[in-house]
Amino acid sequence: MKLKWKPKKLTLVIIPDANQSVVRFRIHHLFAYIAAACFSVPLLIALVVYGLHAHTAHTASELRIKLNGANQLWSAELSSKNETIEQLQNEVIQLSQKAELMKVKVEEMKKLESDLKSIAQLDSSSSPTKDPSLSDTAASNDAVASLPLGMGGSPNPATQEEIMKLGEQTLASLTAMDSDVKELQTSFTETKQKVAVKQQQLRITPTIWPTNTKLVTSPFGYRTDPITHHPSFHSGIDFGARENDSVFTTADGQVVSTGTDAFHGNNIVIEHSKGLRTWYMHLNKILVKRGDTVAKGDVIGLVGSTGRSTGPHLHYEVLKNGESTDPIPYLKAMRKDD
């Protein structure tokens, strides 16, 4: 196919006014194209630039909106985190105050344990005296805990470092207390076992009075015999009780013998522990039999005047390994119903 260039002329007609003559320009066809191109290319560029600018402005606006939203979100988050941090810091302070109170309580428990040992006579080195400084502290702390006391003072905001340090100190304090409490648990368990042993010892030791009366008509030791009026040795204590008054066993034990003879009258022997026995004589009536298990304070017989006796009384003896011993040092405690 063969292209054939045909130069053409274009005629531009300008009509200024109806009364004026028409102006005609004849221009070359190519020139018209160039003129059209010269006019349209800048226009196109301007359109593209405008388009790009509009797009960029829109994008920037969207980003600004997004940024504002994100800023608000972060601000809210930051504020919330600051509140949380402040709350945690306050909790650290409260924890620290509670740890201090607990420390005082642990010290009180240590003192209590020491007193308990002392009361049970497990440790002679300590005595159940009150530590005034400790009880004062405890009392003031109790007062703080129970009263809605007013508080005030100048504002001294604590720094983050100070709170961190307080937290570390509280942790150290709690760790030390944990160790103290473990030691106390062990110590209390040992004390409990020792108290149980002590209680058992006490149960089998003749400590109470064998009659309701505390009237001693003849003590242990040398005396003038009430019948022969000769010097003699009295191997027990005579209690001036009335006929048929109750006779109590002075410790837990087992009846090893009951019987009657011209000297001792109706009598009972009770064994409490290996080598320790008590002997009750001149009874009007025996209320137990050989082999019976008796508990401290049980009624085992009634006061009488049987055997070698001038009137109703109880002759009471404590025997250690078969030897009569003065019962007075044993008569320490009252019966529960006294």
Scanning 15-23, 181-189, 294-302, 309-317 for contacts with Zn ion by CB under 5 A, the matching segment is: 309-317
Question: 92 or 269: whose CB is closer to Zn ion?
Answer: 269
- Residue pair 251/292 in contact by the 8 Å Cβ criterion: no
Scanning 110-118, 181-189, 197-205, 308-316 for contacts with Zn ion by CB under 5 A, the matching segment is: 308-316
Least distance from C-beta 310 to Zn ion, angstroms? 10
Question: 81 or 223: whose CB is closer to Zn ion?
Answer: 223
Question: 308 or 335: whose CB is closer to Zn ion?
Answer: 308
Neighbouring CB atoms inside 10 A of 137's CB total: 17
Question: 167 or 219: whose CB is closer to Zn ion?
Answer: 219
Strand partners, 319: 277, 324
Scanning 65-73, 139-147, 262-270, 307-315 for contacts with Zn ion by CB under 5 A, the matching segment is: 307-315
Question: 277 or 315: whose CB is closer to Zn ion?
Answer: 315
Structure tokens at 134: 């400790």
CB closest to Zn ion, residue no: 315
Strands 314-320 and 253-261: unpaired
Does the footprint of Zn ion cover residue 264 (CB under 5 A)?
A: no
Torsion sign over Cα 111, 117, 120, 126: negative
Question: 92 or 319: whose CB is closer to Zn ion?
Answer: 319
Least distance from C-beta 295 to Zn ion, angstroms? 26
Sequence length of the chain is 338
The Cα–Cα gap between 324 and 338 comes to: 27
Least distance from C-beta 308 to Zn ion, angstroms? 9
Q: What long-range pairs does 91-95 form, CB within 8 A, spacing at least 24?
A: 92/163, 92/166, 92/167, 92/170, 93/158, 93/163, 93/166, 95/170
Q: Applying CB under 5 A, what is the total number of residues that bind Zn ion?
A: 2
Question: 238 or 252: whose CB is closer to Zn ion?
Answer: 238
Cβ contacts of 255 within 8 Å, gap of 6 or more: 268, 269, 270, 288, 289, 290, 291, 292, 293, 294, 300
Least distance from C-beta 121 to Zn ion, angstroms? 32
Does the footprint of Zn ion cover residue 315 (CB under 5 A)?
A: yes
The one-letter amino acid at 332: K
> Binding marks (x or -) toward Zn ion, 231..250, rule CB under 5 A?
-------x------------
The Cα–Cα gap between 277 and 270 comes to: 5
Least distance from C-beta 282 to Zn ion, angstroms? 8
Residues found near Zn ion in the complex (CB under 5 A): 238, 315
